[in-house]
A and B are shown apart, each in its own frame.
Chain A
């Protein structure tokens, strides 16, 4: 059974000043599935990803039109609580960016901001989040050590744990493995596969093999447009659009 969409966009447009960076994007993101966005640099995939938790609000010259529905509520509306939105829609970035604090504090930070004060409860959240991010066994004896002492792959999984600690519904990943070696990458990919049982994952990646490996659905973007969106095996075995075909077979991009 295919679950309904958790996020859907209708005629979404975004301008950076005069640059029309996203052009009439309409798509549906399925709950508890992994959706990958692929396309050449500058095609708008990160911009689209950042629409889903309104990170583009931080850029002055951005103008947005159209609708983005999360659980059937338009997150673009003036009444949206952006802090709560970003709790629901967490994000992991290209370069691991742990806070210059201990492993424990990195994960406890979010719940604390959202009002959790009880030490026992925080301990529980920290352990569960680290377990869920498949890093608990590696850090359980060094929870008070600086997070900056971890390896790149561990730091990235810590950032995922930090995201999980505030119980999001959706996790956005912007090139989460591009700064990691193949072994750390494999761990993150395995983790993504596990995370989709409880969360919806949207991943932006330049690595097409990675998109093919980890995702259920793939969207191909080009020059601000969503050219093709479909099940991942269809996109990579038999794309319907020539542009998609040419991109994934390396003929441009």
Chain B
């Protein structure tokens, strides 16, 4: 094998967590992502910002193969996502393999997408129990610990419908963490929340960032980006317009499109 696609072949610290090489994505004739290249290092928190329709969410969904790339390569932890490369050819992965790749990548959705027919505890315990096949008692203890970690120990037996939006999103974060991911993707995690509930979710995310988790956050919370992120990427029209240190980009944006966007948001 001539290509460096196996995680075993390369020492872990050398390989970036996410490596996107000219990633493109089209829906029919509509090209949503135009040759996005970026690198997210281990332990880095990257914020993706930009106007709606700029392709931020689509890019995020490409990372765990919820969307299939049209062109380019994307690898997580040195492993090509969605494909296997052999003898210069790409082979589609079996769904089983794609599912295995997704296990290492946690995702938090804008609309939470909690399973409404399960309690908070069952939501968190479902995947470790079914996917990893761990013993029930162990999974339940782990799930309770995770709920405690997001400040919801006393809400374990509540159904999502009986939790506030902020609480639901915290359960969703705990659910993603239950699979012990090496990378967490947040797709506008606070956009569907009442303003007064945004803080509690951001607080959990801050704690997660401090604990060293690699995170990619699509967000409109510039305060969070300034305070927590290690890097900020501004996207517009499917391309990366500007990227760099969040404090620098936010205070003195170089590109006029970034300036125009930030003047409306800040």
The answer to whether A binds B is: no
Which positions in A face B, CB cutoff 8 Å?
Answer: none
